[in-house]
Amino acid sequence: MRPRWLYLVCAAAWPCPPARLLLTRQYRRDRVGLSVDLASQLFEATADLLKLNPDGVPDPRELFDRFVAWTARPPSGERS
């Protein structure tokens, strides 16, 4: 996963849909904990991605959406 933040199973940008499903299951009773954990991962990923490509600053909105924003939405089939 690190330092490129790709999912080892499918090589997509982590957290990809399969990783999100696993995370949602792991944190099924703690959505706040999921958000906090992924916010921490966002911080680490930003540092790693900047080290890999200092001239290509990752777009903050895209990284936020990728790591954190999706956690506010209930998974399909789950009521809010």
For the segment 40-50, what is each residue's pLDDT rounded down to a tens digit? 999 999 999 99
Predicted TM-score (pTM) above 0.85: no
Half-sphere exposure of 18 (CA within 13 A, CB side): 8
Kindly report, residue by residue over 50-61, the tens digit of the pLDDT. 999 888 878 999
Backbone angles phi, psi at 8, to 5 degrees: -60, -30
Q: Is the pLDDT of residue 79 over 90?
A: no
pLDDT for residue 56: 82
What is the Cα–Cα distance from 10 to 55, expressed in whole angstroms?
27
pLDDT for residue 2: 84
